[in-house]
Amino acid sequence: MTINPSSLLLATITLASLAGQPATLWSADDPPAKPAAATPSTNPPADVTTQGSIEVGGQRISYDAVAGTLTVGATDEQDAQLGADGKPLPDSDAALVKEPKDAPATARMFYVAYFKKGEKPEDRPVTFFYNGGPGSSTVWLHMGSLGPKHVVTPGDQHAPAAPYRLIDNAQSLLDTSDLVFIDMPGTGFGQLYGKDKEKAFWGIDEDANAFARFIARFLVKYNRWNSPKYLFGESYGTTRSAVLSNILEQKSVDLNGVILLSQIFNFTSDIDAAKSNPGIDLPYVLALPTYAATAWYHKKLPSQPAALEPFLKEVEAFATSDYAHALSEGTDLSAGEKQTVAEKLHTYTGLPVAYLVKADLRVSGGGFEKNLQDDQDLTTGRLDTRFSGPSINPLSEEADYDPQSSAISSAYVSLFNDYIRRELKFGAGQTYLPEAIFGSNQWDMKHNGNPIEPNVSADIATAMKTNPNLKVMVNGGYYDLATPFYAAYYEDKHLPISSTLSKNIEFDWYESGHMVYVREESLKQLHDRVAAFIKSTDSGNK
């Protein structure tokens, strides 16, 4: 399928690119006739270190915060020609290129790292965080999840306009690990340079390799090669983690753990694409528990169960048995059987029986979001189905927007832009891009050159086989319709690994959505569970 790069993003902000000094990758003996106008400077801004402290679990933690950039090459060979400052080494081929536009592609990647003071590197875990998209910066995880600061938003309601509230995060993971929040190439304060620069970094494999090179450079710069290492990816970031974990294993970097939040490995299970992929019925089966949880939350069920989780177990059993069988029958399913299944679906989703029959028992994500609360002229959220908002077009068949994204994006983007400049003292005179500006460029969804729907399950499986001590933690929200929790469970239970290795995977579910941390109770659970996971997999603690 063709992926809309903004489909898994939370905000769409159109910003102008920062114009800097002309690039200087040509030979000093043979300068160009005239400098390239409006070319971003290849001189990286200086790293900035500030200090802070926070209380977590009754413990006062003092830390250094480093905001900076690291430059990586588009291939291992090109990366090896870059010095620690990100510039071509004097004797490298790249140093002799006459025109900046003809230089080998490089990416200057922005990050913020938090280091607890007084710790030995080999005794201190380090966790690398990134969001997804594809095309998103890491502003969402940075400002909402386990960093030292937390954006306050009003539950499942639209946040009032500025001023917004940013507080010390009592659920920060700094009590357990150092934290590194990384923006993907072409986002944040990062820049792309050189020939075919977008093509060199904007794709499943290209992106994962860039992150692998970033991590290697980070380990060198901060002397963290012997630290316990963890990946923490959200949404498409879990796709990246699957590929990245395998790349790192191939480069002799054993990870202690991979932490997945709102997982998607197999894009054929995407409920948003199911409508355009007839004959593939699995997405409907895997989304049904989320439909049921959402209807339960909004009290749209004809008979409201008292507790959510026992109800979901019942729905999962129906989804993988009678419902899956009915869908597999296709046009051989009799009218009577279809009516019976539609009536059962009504009890689990609250959608009208007539609508379910007309939909041929197959309700797309957008169709569910539009119709669940249509009697109130409300559209249900996608990233977090607890959210609702006024329908834009009452006559449309599917949702026109995501109320959850609209509800919180301004708070996150505004507070990050204030925090990074006011407290971390970085970015003066620069534009921060919450997401990549793709323009005419497209994200390359081919994996290993395969043009079919991407599926990175084999990558994480290979990483687990080559490093049988690798542990995987899967986190998901019951109210996430972008990456349904039961789809993650199904994917991981069908990885090409042994039942013994499968025991290295743990599952943690939350009464929240895609960004489980926007619900305060879920944020505390996330902290406690991730901290316990790291402590149990840090070999230095054993």
Q: How much is the pLDDT for 263?
A: 98
Look at residue 285 and tell me whether its pLDDT is greater than 80.
yes
Of 328, 293, 340, 341, nearest in space to 313 by CA: 293
pLDDT tens digits for 152-177? 999 999 999 999 999 999 999 999 99
| Amino acid identity for residue 437 in this structure | I
Helix (H, G, I), strand (E, B) or coil at 333: coil
Percentage of the chain exceeding pLDDT 90:
83
How many CA atoms within 13 Å lie on the side-chain side of 352? 9
Averaged pLDDT, 306-318:
98
For residues 374 and 330, the answer to whether their CB atoms sit within 8 Å is no
pLDDT tens digits for 14-73? 333 323 322 222 223 333 333 333 455 667 789 999 999 999 999 999 999 999 999 999
Spatial distance between the Cα atoms of 259 and 310, rounded to a whole number of angstroms? 26
Average the pLDDT over each of 93-102, 280-289, 369-378, 444-453 and give the range with the smallest value. Answer: 93-102
Q: How much is the pLDDT for 188?
A: 97
Q: What is the DSSP letter of 12?
A: -
pLDDT tens digits for 75-92? 999 999 898 888 888 877
CB atoms near residue 373 (< 10 Å): 19
Q: Class of the 48-86+104-262+409-541 domain? A: alpha beta
pLDDT tens digits for 199-239? 999 999 999 999 999 999 999 999 999 999 999 999 999 99
Q: How much is the pLDDT for 94?
A: 65
For residues 152 and 167, the answer to whether their CB atoms sit within 8 Å is yes
Using alpha carbons, list the distances in angstroms from residue 529 to 126, 238, 504, 525.
16, 18, 15, 6
How many CA atoms within 13 Å lie on the side-chain side of 471? 17
Q: How much is the pLDDT for 39?
A: 52
Banded pLDDT at 450 (limits 50, 70, 90): confident
| 3-state helix vs strand vs coil in the chain, percent to 5 | 40, 20, 45
Of 111, 83, 109, nearest in space to 25 by CA: 83
Domain residue spans of the chain: 48-86+104-262+409-541, 269-404
Q: What is the DSSP letter of 423?
A: T
Residue 205 parent element (H or E): helix 204-221
Write out the DSSP string of 381-412: PSS-TT-EEE-S-TT-SS-SS-HHHHHHHHHH
Banded pLDDT at 96 (limits 50, 70, 90): low
Using alpha carbons, list the distances in angstroms from residue 264 to 2, 40, 270, 516.
16, 34, 8, 15
